[in-house]
Amino acid sequence: MVVALELPPKSDEKSKSPQQYIGHHHPGSTYVYVIKGTMRLGIEGQPVQLVHAAESFFEPLGALHTAAENASAKKPASAIAILTRAGRCSNSDGDSGSKEMRNP
């Protein structure tokens, strides 16, 4: 699945009950390519990374996704996330499963 991510600038104001990012798992691995701006992305056990436009971030299968936010309080950020689903693949006609590939 391909998802467009649009992140507005983060707020400079601190609320009385700030929202915290709740860690979660995706059903497969995830690849994020930042198109515009800078994002903070992280997985458990590793430092949060600043990922700038034209850079990417990989989240392996089973990783706990712990951070995803715009790093800027002034500029928006956007990215494309490609999420895979473990144990499944399908071709263009919707048939899933493993297929042998051969050279013509």
SS3 3: strand
Minimal CA–CA distance to 38: which of 26, 56, 22? 56
Name the residue with higher pLDDT: 98 or 46: 46
List, in sequence order, every beta strand (DSSP E) within the chain. 2-7, 30-36, 38-43, 49-52, 56-59, 65-70, 77-83
Residue 58 lies in a domain: yes
Q: pLDDT value at position 38?
A: 97
| Domain-located, residue 43 | yes
Over the stretch 30-89, which tens digit does the pLDDT of each residue have?
A: 999 999 999 999 999 999 999 999 999 999 999 999 999 999 999 999 999 999 987 655
Amino acid making up residue 51: V
This prediction has a pTM of 0.74
Q: Is the pLDDT of residue 14 over 90?
A: no
Residue 33 lies in a domain: yes
Q: Between 56 and 11, whose confidence is greater?
A: 56
Instruction: Compute the average pLDDT of residues 92-97.
Output: 45
The verdict on residue 64 lying in a domain is yes
Domain, as residue range, for 68: 2-7+23-83
Q: Is residue 96 situated within a structural domain?
A: no
Please indicate, yes or no, if residue 14 is contained in any of the structural domains.
Answer: no
Residue 3 pLDDT class (50, 70, 90 cuts): very high
CATH number of the domain enclosing 42: 2.60.120.10
How many domains, in total, are found in the chain?
A: 1
**Residue 76 counted as domain residue:** yes
Domain-embedded: residue 67:
yes
